[in-house]
Amino acid sequence: MSFVLGIPRKFKYVKVDSLNEALELLREGSKILAGGQSLLPLLKLRILNVDTLVDIKNLDLRGVSENEKEIEIYSLTTHNEVASKVKLLSKVAFTIADFQVRNKGTIGGSLAHADPSSNYYPALLVLDAKVKVKSKKGEREIKVVDLYISPYTTSMREDEIITSIIIPKKKELNFTYEVYKRGGSAYPTAIVAVAVEGNKYKVSFGGITEKPILFEGEVESENTIKNVIERLREEKIISDIHADSSTRLKIAERLFVNAFLRASKGVSDQFNIPAIENKWKSEVIRGEEMVTVKMKVNDFEMEDEVEPRTLLLDFLRRNGYKEVKRGCDEGKCGACTVIIDGKSVKSCLTLAVEVIGSDIKTVKGLSDIKQLKESFLENFAMQCGYCTHGFLMVTYDYLKRIGKRDDDELLKHSIKNICRCTGYFNIIKAIKTSSSNQ
């Protein structure tokens, strides 16, 4: 049997429309599919193989509710939605990956995946959050401090689904968050979250050890910094190709001092993100061998027979949409970006069956992208042009929904596509100088 790079092994795909049906289908060999931004790379690399993918995107587990005591975030809320709806987590969620990953990836998926560099764990640890999980046996709550066991392993059982995340509200809380990343849409090298409430502090470090660290105590100005750093130096710090342990430790120490001093002075970190809604609802289907996929591409009705494992990228390219490019094939470069129901998404991390009935646009189908295209041309924002379509797609979405073309901080965390000809200076200039009508 031949090994095909980038294509998962065959599986059965079921898009459910009720939580009970999803719970019914959870058993050995099946896996929940939420945003697919962590699961699909694993399936494509065949590090993980499944018999059945249970797509829960149609479930009513999206959005945020609040009362005077707590904030409840439903598990399918995407990172961009969390950033726009939960002020406290705006920086935490908006510094995840890039705009496209944040349009599809979900807070529940991130906690269930339990990556040691997850943006959420350090924040939710210092905020005393808990998750609600459901199974056929009933519902229970797990404190986030008890959820993460080791890399990619949680204390949830195989038959459980995270339905929401609950954060208690605190009156005099100062919360700061620092994250250090290499370029592109890399995972963080180090993360620090600090919560100061009266004379009590909690600090959590992510990305530097196999399990996010949590320290807590009473604030004693300079002594606190000294004590935390001493305790941190006793930990076993990760060393890998991205940073050796001493570099990681130095970065973490610096981030901590900065975050702690700011929190002790009464600062709280927040980004100001306009309201974002990411609709992810499409037809319910159950497919084993071949599935009929119907969708609109650039206002043209398309229909094709595909295996459930077919990537949207391959579906589009083999139907003639060659402007959508295959680059890294692992979700990092953004060359494959298209607009799905108004939001930019990486088509190499999306299955064609996930978006049955959706409205897909490439640059050829967007009537209101003319100004941006002209700005790319006028600023020589391309050399070979391979990456250009992807850049146009994510920029189009960012400008439409965030619109802050001069906010370097928000731009830096949003448009992270890779240009192999290294034309970033002109690309940024094109984005910043394109007409604000975009």
Ligand X SMILES: Cc1cc2nc3c(=O)[nH]c(=O)nc-3n(C[C@H](O)[C@H](O)[C@H](O)COP(=O)(O)OP(=O)(O)OC[C@H]3O[C@@H](n4cnc5c(N)ncnc54)[C@H](O)[C@@H]3O)c2cc1C
Where do we find the tokens 């009970």? 20
Residue 377's binding partner, choosing from ligand X, ligand FES, none, with beta-carbon cut-off 5 to 8 A by kind?
none
**What is the residue type of 31?**
K
Q: Concatenated DSSP letters for 298-339?
A: TTEEEEEEE-TT-BHHHHHHHTT-TTSPPSSSSSSS-TTEEE
Which of 329, 341, 354, 397 is the binder for ligand FES (CB under 6 A)?
Answer: 329
Q: Report the distance separating Cα 205 and Cα 219, nearest Å.
A: 18
Query: Is 331 near ligand FES (CB under 6 A)?
Result: yes
Residue 33's binding partner, choosing from ligand FES, ligand X, none, with beta-carbon cut-off 5 to 8 A by kind?
ligand X
Select from 113-121, 230-238, 263-271, 418-426 the region that touches ligand X (CB under 6 A): 113-121
Q: What is the CA radius of gyration of the chain?
A: 22
Query: What is the closest distance, in whole angstroms, from the C-beta atom of residue 217 to ligand X in the complex?
Result: 27
Query: For residue 241, what are the CA distances in angstroms to 108, 233, 263, 429?
Result: 29, 20, 32, 32
Binding residues with ligand X: total (CB under 6 A): 31
Which of 41, 109, 212, 327 is the binder for ligand FES (CB under 6 A)?
Answer: 327
Q: Do 98 and 414 contact (CB within 8 A), yes or no?
A: yes
Residue 384's binding partner, choosing from ligand X, ligand FES, none, with beta-carbon cut-off 5 to 8 A by kind?
ligand FES
Q: Report the distance separating Cα 245 and Cα 165, nearest Å.
A: 32
Q: What is the dihedral of CA 425, 92, 152, 9, to 10 degrees?
A: -50
90, two tokens:
């705006």
Q: Which helix (H) or strand (E) holds 372?
A: helix 370-378
Residue 116's binding partner, choosing from ligand FES, ligand X, none, with beta-carbon cut-off 5 to 8 A by kind?
none
**Residue of minimal Cβ distance to ligand X:** 105
Query: Is 62 near ligand X (CB under 6 A)?
Result: no
Which of 25, 101, 203, 237 is the binder for ligand X (CB under 6 A)?
Answer: 101
Query: What is the closest distance, in whole angstroms, from the C-beta atom of residue 115 to ligand X in the complex?
Result: 6
Binding residues with ligand FES: total (CB under 6 A): 22
Q: What is the dihedral of CA 367, 326, 424, 98, to 10 degrees?
A: 80
Query: Is 34 near ligand X (CB under 6 A)?
Result: yes
Query: Is 346 near ligand FES (CB under 6 A)?
Result: yes
**CB-wise, 112 or 348, nearer to ligand FES?**
348
Q: Do 111 and 166 contact (CB within 8 A), yes or no?
A: no
For ligand FES, the binding residues (CB under 6 A) are 326-329, 331-336, 346, 348, 382-387, 419-421, 423
For ligand X, the binding residues (CB under 6 A) are 31-39, 75, 96-97, 101, 105-106, 108-110, 112-113, 115, 118-119, 161-162, 185, 187-188, 331-332, 349
